[in-house]
Structure 1
Amino acid sequence: MRIKRSIGGAVMALTALLATAQGEPLKIAYSDWPGWVAWEIGIQKGWFKEAGVEVEFAWMDYVESMDAYVAGKVDAVTMTNGDALVTGGTGKPSVGIIINDFSNGNDMIVGAPGIESFKDLKGKKVGVEEGFVCHLLLLKGLEVNGMKPEDITVVNTPTNETPQVLEAKAVDAIGAWQPNSGQALKAVPGAKPLFTSADAPGIIYDLLYVSGESLEKNKEEWGKVVGVWYKIVDFIKDEENLDEALEILSARVSLKPEEYEPFFKGTYILSLDEALEKWKEADGLGSVYGSSKLVDDFNVKFEVYDKSLDVTKYLDPSFTKAYAESKK
């Protein structure tokens, strides 16, 4: 049932419309990942209008959202830091202005029954989509466990088909992210996670990426979007709001709150202070720059694109830093 807006709400809506009267609303494509579904809180609560910025969110499948961005149908898209390099190296560059989260267990290498540890994969087949983030996670698992890529056989498998190939016993393990990893664990009794993104925090960062053209034209408006994001983060981080947050997030993906909660917990949404730390330029997974350099090396090695990219051109911490300064 539609709730009647108050006079104050109408005034806020009018303010937002006037603020963007000179141009089109900002268009953001977002998809089914907890750190991105979180935008729904700001949408449902009217916080964008309250901030004086008009934003249109387009809900899409992940790959479709990137295609829409490359085609110029939206101004911004939610992507992993690795996939942002792929879209830039093969199509349209973008600039990350918000680090929403890092994967904290939702991306997994799942072993079939009888595979008790990662090292048991030696000489086995692993179904994973080559060139995607779970392939990178698999390589990291090999490194951590003192193994080499030659110790396993990679079977190139679309991520959404990995639960079926594990159930069919066509492979001994799969690499997938939620909800596919969870589906595999449900479909195959005795299957277990062998290595997850929680074992390599920072290997997969999730960001909001904006086109350079839109950033140049709408810098003030994107700054307001950053402010709304951290209002969402503050809401989520308050334990008193957890039930309401899960209600909003789960409704977006047609699940019950209790079904959605494990997905939410497998995603580490960054506070403002934590994000500022990740924005510092450094090597290693503790920095979005170091993580992106690792992915860039991976993309070149597996011929996703031809030569290394300058990852610094794909990242802009200035919006987060400016917001932090405004809060002092």
Structure 2
Amino acid sequence: MFGIIGKAGKAVMLAGALILASCSQSPDPQAEPRKDFSIGWSIYAGWMPWPYAQKAGIVKKWADKYGITINVVQVNDYVESINQYTAGKFDGVTVTNMDALTIPAASGKDTSAIVVGDYSNGNDGILLKGADTLAAIKGRQIYLVELSVSHYLLARALQSAGLKATDVKTVNTSDADIVGAFSSPDAQAAVTWNPQLSVMKGQAGAKDVFNSSNIPGEILDLMVVDTATLKANPNLGKALTGIWYETVALMKRNDATGKAARAEMAKLAGSTPESFDSQLSTTFLYTDPKAAVAATTAPALVKTMTLVRDFSFSHGLFKGASSPDAVGIAFPGGKTLGDPARVTLRFDESFMKMAADGKL
């Protein structure tokens, strides 16, 4: 899939629908008090708490507490899950910070990130054959999913090495094909994410020369919800946040209960417990709501989103925009990037703070 997973060319199709003609959004026809909600998810280690919570009854427990119903729905194609959310088929979806910006937000759908669940801490990486330093990437063809988080990781790596985008040539390769493509003797460099990354590391001569642990906190995995729906139904935000923290506390336990929960998540992801635990080891989960609030309110998040939006704009993901300011991003404390009259992506720490304060 495209998760951390990535973000592929299909994201560009939706980003092309950027709404720049008006500073205000039309009312959401579903932005009214409701009882039934649906949340989309796709397979990735950091998002497996959601389907597990549904199967284990944790979703129902929290939904019942607030007198609502929440249906957690799997979508096999990651980008399609975001497209469906953007089109209004879901009230919320699991998504990375980059894709939340370039698909729903850039398309004019006002979206709130209410749970900052984790960041990639090695789940995305750059592999070279026959070299063990990033400097050796110069002049090589790089296989990757273009205009994805992999592309963003490459851009940050080149920047760190004092290289330019023109110092390499990218070869657009789907996530489904990249393992096979990299196995060719002609393929000498690639950027991808787990589980493909772990498989490709096993190929002869492959070395990890840069990965997401070198840019901690920049590739974030979120639970986002339609802002108007959230405003009309704050209990949805409370329930989702309660579900998340109860479930991740369970999965982090070192006893038999925690092991069984992780094994079930691995099964739901079509993986083995060993492989799933390996992927978790390169995923920094925010199991403590206080830590998540601190990360969401820190100046570092503004810096990260500045990097992400500038990359997205420079690569044409804000179709029709004359500057990266065309899509506004709001942060806790009143800080805004871009046009404050066109804010369509909001980092809302309020529900995580409720969890931290024991008020859910």
With normalisation by structure 2, the TM-score equals: 0.79
Deviating runs (4+, > 6 A) in structure 1?
Answer: none
What pairs with 1:17-166 in structure 2 (closer than 5 Å)?
23-51=34-62, 52=64, 53-60=68-75, 61-87=77-103, 88-90=105-107, 92-112=109-129, 114-166=130-182
Partners of 2:210 and 2:52 in 1: CA distance: 31
Partners of 1:37 and 1:120 in 2: CA distance: 36
Deviation, 1:272, is: 1.2
SS across alignment from 1:72: coil
Deviation, 1:213, is: 2.6
- Alpha-carbon deviations, 1:136-171, whole Å to 9, x = none? 111111122232222222222223322222112343
Between the two proteins, the alignment pairs up a number of residues equal to 301
Q: 2:239 aligns with which of 214, 217, 224?
A: 224
Partners of 1:96 and 1:246 in 2: CA distance: 25
* Counterpart contact for 1:104–1:201, Cα < 8 Å: yes
* Counterpart contact for 1:281–1:290, Cα < 8 Å: no
* Counterpart contact for 2:289–2:353, Cα < 8 Å: no
* Counterpart contact for 2:253–2:259, Cα < 8 Å: no
Between 299-308 and 47-56, report the one with greater CA deviation. 47-56
* Counterpart contact for 1:30–1:77, Cα < 8 Å: yes
SS across alignment from 1:127: strand
Deviation, 1:323, is: 2.5
* Counterpart contact for 2:124–2:211, Cα < 8 Å: yes
Partners of 2:353 and 2:235 in 1: CA distance: 14
Identity of aligned residues (%): 28
Partners of 1:257 and 1:124 in 2: CA distance: 36
1:294 aligns with 2:307: yes
Between 257-266 and 237-246, report the one with greater CA deviation. 237-246
Partners of 1:192 and 1:199 in 2: CA distance: 15
Residue 296 of structure 1 aligns with an amino acid whose one-letter code is: R
Between 118-127 and 317-326, report the one with greater CA deviation. 317-326
1:310 aligns with 328
* Counterpart contact for 1:159–1:175, Cα < 8 Å: no
Partners of 1:215 and 1:164 in 2: CA distance: 43
* Higher share of residues assigned helix: 1
Deviation, 1:299, is: 0.5
Q: Which runs of 5+ in 1 are unaligned?
A: 1-21
1:19 aligns with none
